[in-house]
Structure 1
């Protein structure tokens, strides 16, 4: 298995592990440097030979402490593509019209095992920057939202709020009846009342009266 020349990232490096071994599909590639950058994950060994991983193709990543399955604690990565595959095999897979189902198992083994948590957190943060478009809940181009938010006069967004003379034309029968009941109640507010702080129920509409039982001029102009 041969690697290829890789350049380290220039920006967006979230974590750098200088002494980190790489094991790909149970093949040890020796000591190298792991770069967990915002754009991609890069491991570089001797003579600038290494590999790079795209976050959208990382299926699983976890900290492995089971030394029975693997002799060292490591950062385990399951990759949805086969590493170091020839271009010929990739073309044959594409010509058959089938998606490549090859999966690679990659283990990054730092010299300082205390850095495993930092490596895991950095990888998690960077992967969040590259969501899988196939699993996205956002609308794609050409799709229509069947429940759009309506915008009314003055730019106010909401449902059932209208302004201007055409408001009554948009009201439902229930809304119109409610408005008529409110108008009747407001007309009664003009007479003084000896009750204070009384909550009344009129046709299912609750109104808490003011303590002085009087109505100020212009109080209900907006209503």
Structure 2
């Protein structure tokens, strides 16, 4: 995985709802190391000790959850799914699509690339506060394509058991988001 999207920037100074020191970032299975996670009203940011890191806008975050199932990942963590592929290869791929007749691009949700990020705090008791801060901040950035998202769920937390056995506390889903999902009963 190309991690050329990492850059240096100052930590957020305004609207920080949660600052979690000593938090490991893992992107698509690749450990970036320990740093500080900033859950701010405007963005979600992570910076290591040298000031290198990444920052995400909330509309790009499709899902966030607290994962406690150590059979899926060895430590409890805040799971974040980004509706894009982070890194240089994804950016190059998008540029090629535009150059090669972007008009034929099919905007099918099934083909949308994703990136999985796990934020593993050294203090696992902080997970609930991290999740709550994420819910609050994400609610400040409703999906403009969903007319119902302003009124749905009011930041409540839900315990769900996914079909693969992973138990998570999930952020409110967007109405209709999982209409085509396969569910085992």
Partner of 2:114: 103
Whether 1:91 aligns to 2:102 is no
Partner of 2:41: 38
Whether 1:13 aligns to 2:24 is no
Tell me the distance in 1 between the aligned counterparts of 2:126 and 2:148. 34
More strand by share: 2
Q: What's the secondary structure of 1:53's corresponding residue? A: strand
Whether 1:129 aligns to 2:140 is yes
How far did 1:92 drift?
A: 1.6
Query: What's the Cα RMSD here?
Result: 1.7
After superposition, the Cα gap between the structure-2 partners of 1:128 and 1:72, relative to the gap in structure 1 and judged at 3 Å, is same
Q: Deviations over 1:124-154 (max 9, x none)?
A: 000000000001259xxxxxxxxxxxxxxxx
Partner of 1:48: 51
Q: What's the secondary structure of 1:76's corresponding residue? A: strand
Q: Deviations over 1:23-74 (max 9, x none)?
A: 0000000100000000000000132111111111111111001111101100
More helix by share: 1
Structure of higher RCO (CA pairs closer than 8 Å, 6+ residues apart)? 2
Q: What's the secondary structure of 2:81's corresponding residue? A: strand
How far did 1:98 drift?
A: 4.2
Tell me the distance in 1 between the aligned counterparts of 2:9 and 2:118. 18
Whether 1:73 aligns to 2:84 is no
Q: What's the secondary structure of 1:134's corresponding residue? A: coil
Gaps (5+ residues) in structure 1?
A: 139-223
Give matches, 1:108-187, under 5 Å.
108-137=119-148
Q: Post-superposition, which runs of at least 4 consecutive aligned residues in structure 1 deviate over 4 A?
A: none
Q: Deviations over 1:9-30 (max 9, x none)?
A: 1100000001100000000001
Tell me the distance in 2 between the aligned counterparts of 1:107 and 1:62. 10
Give the total of aligned pairs: 138
Q: What's the secondary structure of 2:145's corresponding residue? A: helix
Tell me the distance in 2 between the aligned counterparts of 1:71 and 1:59. 23
Gaps (5+ residues) in structure 2?
A: 150-185
Q: Which has the larger radius of gyration?
A: 1
Q: What's the secondary structure of 2:85's corresponding residue? A: coil
TM-score, with structure 2 as normaliser: 0.70
